[in-house]
Structure 1
Amino acid sequence: MSLLHALRTVSLLLLMLGAMPAQADTVLRVFIGGPAQRPDLFRTLADRYEASHPGIRIEIGSSAATSELQRKYLSVLLNAHDPSFDALMLDIVHPYQFATASWIAPLDPYLGKEKEALLADGLPIYRQTNLIKGQLYTLPAVTDAMFMYYRKDLLAQYGIAPPQSWQELEAAAQTILKQENKPALQGLSMQGAPIEGTVCSFLLPYWSQGKEVLNKNGKLILDKPAALQSLTLWTGLIKKNVIRRHVGEVKTGDTVNTFKAGNAIFAINWGFAWNVFQNDADSRVKDKVGIIRMPAMPGGEHATCLGGWQWALSNYSRNKAQTADLLRFLASPESVRFITLQGGLLPPYLSLYDDADVQAVIPWLKDAKPALLGARSRPLTARYAQVSDVLRISTSAVLAGSLTTEEGLEDISLRLERILR
């Protein structure tokens, strides 16, 4: 072969190679709900991951703001085996349904020994919620729970210790209401409208009696006397004017606004409410707010309703191994610490509750920890949406006075039996 021919051959090869497209990046698509889940902060983490993983590109998608609308949106996609998203951020109440439907994949093959380390540092309840039929299906993103907020200034003024039982709360509220004699002041503001928070309103005193709605096999084990006691607690507080009679209409935001305006002694709400009470310009309770564990029933335990969000791997992802590695990164204590420091969101790992920097950002962390250690999971069932509808609607009807406690209990019992038989 002549030199000229060889050069022409090499030139042709170089031209052919230049014309070939560069190898495409692997694109991982992550679903992160609405603004409350802080996709902006997770975008920063995604950028960091991309920088250390050449060839990986991450896209973040979102949908409706509410948990229920997000569930419906993802259910439609996944039921059609749609691979649009590789990773999903799910409300804590939804993974069981998604795992049972085979919409999400177990993470065990991708984590190895790291699985136990993450579970050991996580809140104790995660061993129940994240492990489904013995396999790890989710990793924690951020945690939350329902807390009992109270007016430190009012309790101190009247020499009243933070209540440990519902009876103590009733007595404290009645004493302060009588002394303050202000028509706008409420004893306890809580959710009673037919919303998800009202599911927790039913469960808080029920759990305090050591009872569960379902057993480990998902079978209904509703304890009717305990359920009646749960409903009776609330109607008793309504009759004694500790809770306002319009509670059957009260939603999450209503409770926040009532307490923020200085018009409630006690309030039950999620963790996000603290920042509203402390930081909103129109808050009248800044530096006056305390947090305690949820009061207990007589002889019972302190129990609260677990919230928060979890990472899951779509079973229809075409890049499962790469997505699992990304989830390992997003759920790592280092990444969670970043989200906590930047967003003020409660961390799911116990080690971070002793972190001085985290404590500076969330000064009420030491009070949140005891409540979170008593967190319980709402019923783990593939039919949670229907179970939630029963509990929220019937409980709201009892609180509104359109059903008696006995009628409400019967309604709950019969409808749950039909759903879960």
Structure 2
Amino acid sequence: MVAICYGMDKIPKKLRPEALAAIMPFIKVGETIEALAESIIFAINLLKWDLQSDSSDIATDLENTMLCFWDPLVKTLKRRFDWRFDEKLYRDVAPRVNETSLRIYSSFLLGIGWNENLGPKYYSDPERMRAPIRMWLLAMADSSPGHCLIEVQECFWACFTAKSVEASVFVEMLVEESGGNERKVAKLSVSELKGNTREKKQETFNLQIRFNLILLLNTDKMHAAALDAGAISAITKAVLRLRRLGEECCTASSIVLFLNVAETILERGQTVRGITEAVEAGMLKVLGESTAFASCDCLQKKDIQQMSLLLKSFFVKHLVLDSVLDVIVSAMAEMSAETLAQLKKSPFAEGWGALRAATLERAVFKIMLENETREQGKFGTCDFCWRSTPSLNLKKCAGCKTTV
């Protein structure tokens, strides 16, 4: 059996289902722990190699073989691994775990999770989500075994994106496993979003991870914590990168998702610095290019309506802030001629036009106000926003536009 496991790369593809069928009974019989581990590694490597290939018949045979031994396989995994990732482990100051077990278990969960048939079946029991969640929290800790980090992160996101897993339930369990600490989860997510440890050859997967992080931060439970963790700037840069490399996961729907997160965070009182940094990081470029080049074929009707509404109202409430207005006007001036031409043909042209008109209106008003102020040389204090404002001759505050 060990010879078969370690010689898997020499086995012709057409014979791999038979080889897997020869290995799997050891799980049912209950051989030694080492034999069980080797069986699992072999099965998972077959899944990762062949289920992603063009050999659909071979992939189906491999799936069927796994399903024949499904119950004993799941029981073996529970007996072999689950006890090593119990609740007590994650309450310790310096958690430790067998690195071999971590690697084998995460490899299995990765192979199962990415498979469109086996993943939903495995995670049909929501309690099975706890293992990848706990391993991810452990792997993101300072005491994590570094060489297992990538495998653990991958199996975590494979669980999150499985068809049978609801994002809201997943996040609830994630927060619960972190001791009810949303801020911790948000901080870890934003940290991974800003820059992770994956190799360049995994660029496509890296982008998918970033898209999943935006999904996670967009859940209702994470909005407030995402604000404190500085998610808006990180999300802006991540979406720009997704768009720049043109991956399938970056459809117009991802832009609607981005707008939702950004608007929610801004509404919760993000600082002027945070808004300014987001615009400087490329938020307006995301808005402009997405509006110009988004295809309605990949959007549902509700998404189209939502995107139009967001464009009409997105920055209007924040344009009164001088620093924000300055960077927005600057960003609009730097847009390419191609983008501006495409904007006129876009189904979202009306919404973009409203945003642009509001920006120009506030910019012109600001210039006029500054000119009047220079001429008068007098200042007072607004009772509403406490900003420095011209004397009563101008009647309106430069900051909040309230009549004074």
Which of the pair has more CA radius of gyration? 2
TM-score range, shorter chain: under 0.3
Q: Give the strand-richer structure, 1 or 2.
A: 1
Give the structure with the larger helix fraction.
2
Which structure has more RCO (C-alpha within 8 Å, separation ≥ 6)?
1
TM-score (norm 2): 0.23
**TM-score, reference length from structure 1:** 0.22
